[in-house]
Structure 1
Amino acid sequence: MGLDISAYSKLVAAPDAERDSDGDLVDYENLTEVYDNKDFPGRIEGLTQGIAYKIEGDGADLSIGYGRYNAWRDELAKLAGYPIGTYEQYGRAAESHCVSCWNGAVGPFSEQINFSDCEGTIGPVISAKLAKDYAEFAGKAEAVGGYFWEKYQEFQACFELAADNGAVLFH
């Protein structure tokens, strides 16, 4: 199992999109829906849950295993300069650079670091902020290299797309 991400640019509200008897979109290849994960308020800014959106721009997809994503996200937090902190996991103390963001720190990548690793939408406003963060830290990320740099570029492309009135969907 893993995290799948879809990113789109140029989403246009389509509130009258046709749905089947289960309420699912009939034209799922050209339309999408967004999910506002209430545990992370404000991430969907610029979009509305409950309506369909026509995809008029480009799209991108990426996949990463849950464990690898969480390790990768910790490296992202380290790159951004967040200090290592301690949290409880499965009854034991664990360490992560993400702890500051989980506790409300705001800064580079904080909206992604403190976001679900399985479901929710990041709308165009937050995507634009994250795209800027990715551009600003690209040189440092490239210096890390390897798998981290590979996924960094994929996430950067997703947020750049979504910054253009789009969305990044975690599912």
Structure 2
Amino acid sequence: MSVYIVVYQGLKKYEGKVDEAYGNCDEDTNLFEVDGNSECPEFLDGLEIDDVYSYRGEVWFGFGEGPALNENLEKLAGLVAYDSQMPGANEPGPFRELFRWGGVGTIGPVASAKLAADFADWDADARARCDASFYSFFATMRAMFDCVVAGACVQYRVKPRRAVVHQIQRKHVDARISPHGLHP
């Protein structure tokens, strides 16, 4: 199955009532529920677990099939010399949140801002030391986390809820990426 990561922007805690049929997303009202990761609760900093938020906009990012995403995350780990078996693997370091996330739960605005800074800091190394295919992945991830400004978060999805939104937003994101890096 194709893997997507969505950035929800313009978040506001929803104070209305949500019925049992709501699920964790509602296309008609722009609502979503914050999913937690019990092993990494700090990923949610800036949000409250299990609360429902409304959002002003969303940007979808496609990463192909799950194995392709995992392969690129392994290359990213190699770039920064990260090994999950090494002592201190869970301590702060570049991209640690992505390596520990595993697609489980929401990444809140604090961890997302840290990841955006990591991608900015490592961009020159990735461009110089990695092949074009990996750098395309790297640049897309960087663009994704650059979209997460105050009041935004990231969630993993197996399929998009609204393919049309994804296609429109994806074209917008691709226009910002070139072989020479991101463009504002």
Provide TM-score, normalisation by structure 1. 0.78
Paired residue for 2:92? 106
Name the aligned partner's letter for residue 37 of structure 1.
Answer: N
Paired residue for 1:7? 7
Paired residue for 2:110? 125
1:21-62 CA-partner distances (Å, limit 9, x unpaired) = 423368425222220111222111111122221212452322
Runs of 4+ in structure 1 displaced over 3 angstroms? 97-103
Greater fraction of residues in helix: 2
Shift of 1:132: 0.3
Shift of 1:119: 2.6
Q: Is the contact between residue 8 and residue 158 of structure 1 (CA under 8 Å) also seen in structure 2?
A: no
C-alpha separation between the residues in 2 aligned to 1:16 and 1:48?
Answer: 16
Aligned residues: 155
Paired residue for 2:22? 23
Q: Is the contact between residue 131 and residue 163 of structure 1 (CA under 8 Å) also seen in structure 2?
A: no
Q: Is the contact between residue 31 and residue 54 of structure 2 (CA under 8 Å) also seen in structure 1?
A: yes
Shift of 1:150: 1.2
- Structure 1 residues 101, 43: CA separation in 2 closer, same or farther (over 3 Å shift)? farther
Greater Cα offset, 62-71 or 107-116: 62-71
Unmatched 5+ residue regions in structure 1? 83-96
C-alpha separation between the residues in 2 aligned to 1:50 and 1:160?
Answer: 25
Name the aligned partner's letter for residue 122 of structure 1.
Answer: I
Q: Is the contact between residue 119 and residue 170 of structure 1 (CA under 8 Å) also seen in structure 2?
A: yes
C-alpha separation between the residues in 1 aligned to 2:122 and 2:25?
Answer: 40
Shift of 1:64: 3.1
C-alpha separation between the residues in 1 aligned to 2:94 and 2:25?
Answer: 38
Q: Would you say 1:51 and 2:36 are equivalent positions?
A: no
Q: Would you say 1:156 and 2:134 are equivalent positions?
A: no
Shift of 1:10: 2.0
Name the aligned partner's letter for residue 106 of structure 1.
Answer: P
Name the aligned partner's letter for residue 4 of structure 1.
Answer: Y
- Structure 1 residues 163, 98: CA separation in 2 closer, same or farther (over 3 Å shift)? farther
% identical aligned pairs: 28
C-alpha separation between the residues in 1 aligned to 2:17 and 2:57?
Answer: 18
Name the aligned partner's letter for residue 150 of structure 2.
Answer: D
Unmatched 5+ residue regions in structure 2? 158-184
C-alpha separation between the residues in 1 aligned to 2:87 and 2:65?
Answer: 21
